[in-house]
Amino acid sequence: MLTRLSCTVEEMGLALDDVVILLACNEYFVPYTAVAIQSIVEHMSPDRHYDIVVLTRDLTQRTIDSLVGHLPYPNMSLGFLNPEVALKGTKLPHHGHFRPETFFRLLAPWLLPNVKKAVYLDSDLVALTDVAELFDTDVEGCLLGATRDADTVGMMLGYDGTVGPYLENEIKLTDPMQYFQAGVLVMNLEAFRYAFTVADMLSLSTVRVWRWLDQDILNMLADGNYVRVDMRWNTLMDWKGIRREKIIAQAPEELREQYEAARQDPAIVHYAGPDDRPWDYPDCDMGAYFWDYAKRSAFADVLEERLQQSQTTVAGKLDRAKVSVIFKGIMPLVDKTFPPGTKRRTRLIKGYVAIGGDLG
């Protein structure tokens, strides 16, 4: 195993013959990725071997050494793979809080050409049980396994009237109700290679700016034909107290029940959202899980320093004040004046987008 950023899978020297786990990050985000990795390794089975591959373009050697040196586990290996061999300089369009690294999962089938299956995990999550159980999901005959997205379905059914037409008319889903959340995936890499090419992925990634970027692309490609994974494997935090009471509350009863059941017994907690993340707001929903692993992770000191800066510096206080005004003042007023499910709410959102507003 080479402990440096590799250009090819051969250079990494990983076995890649049992549990393969993929993450993607950049140099700034790596402390949060380190927490995800810490949570994974603390639940590994001694009877399995785990290869964790980080897809990245800019990790420094010092960062790589810190990650590898912090994880001396005999039944796991850590590798770092540069996706530029597949990107070939392609500029990946993104917006809002999203980063280009989110597209790297689309390239995984060709970056790991001899690997049949892998679990892909976003870096803003923690695992509370053995990810090998998720890896063992049978995805034969499908591109992937994923959890239905109660959040997006709730938006479509009342909270945001622009979502349904977008999923139906622009992504062209046969049944938008089957839209899935792509932060946790069991990817059938072999099936992707059979059906598509790298050129297909890059073309779809750059043809326009998608609302939820590569997640929309994956939903378009699967079009509802995917293995339904229990929602406990991708338990979304109750972002700002809005997701649970105002958005998922609009979803069908079966999805609401699945979400509530997942919250009672989460296998993976996913801190999806543009802000209110545990590294800045430790008291956010299910934030205690994050800090439990963070204090034992490779960059615990960096996380503590960033938290302090967000709480005490002028810039950090201003950002918190801005977020507070938006979510405690403006949004409740909008909900009261433009209630979910009304046409005037949909017109408001369309107008907001027309003047450059970001709905990511």
At 148-173, the pLDDT tens digits run: 999 999 999 988 889 999 999 999 99
Cβ atoms of residues 57 and 82 within 8 Å: yes
Residue 354: what pLDDT?
A: 67
Average pLDDT over residues 174-202: 97
**1: confidence class by pLDDT, cuts 50, 70, 90:** low
- Is residue 358 scored above 70 in pLDDT? no
In a domain, 356, yes or no: no
Angular region, 49: left φ>0, alpha ψ -120 to 50, beta rest:
beta
Q: Which domain holds residue 298?
A: 5-310
Average pLDDT over residues 278-293: 96
In a domain, 230, yes or no: yes
The pLDDT tens digits of the residues spanning 123-150 come to 999 999 999 999 999 999 999 999 999 9
How many Å apart are CA 189 and CA 233, to the nearest integer?
A: 20
In a domain, 126, yes or no: yes
Span of 16-25, 199-208, 264-273, 347-356 with lowest mean pLDDT: 347-356
pTM above 0.85, yes or no: yes
Q: Is 221 helix (H, G, I), strand (E, B) or coil?
A: helix
Among 251, 255, 246, 259, which residue's Cα sits nearest to residue 340?
246
Residue 356: what pLDDT?
A: 61
Q: How many domains does the chain have?
A: 1
Span of 105-114, 252-261, 267-276, 300-309 with lowest mean pLDDT: 267-276
Provide the CATH number for the domain around residue 216.
Answer: 3.90.550.10
In a domain, 359, yes or no: no
In a domain, 358, yes or no: no
In a domain, 150, yes or no: yes
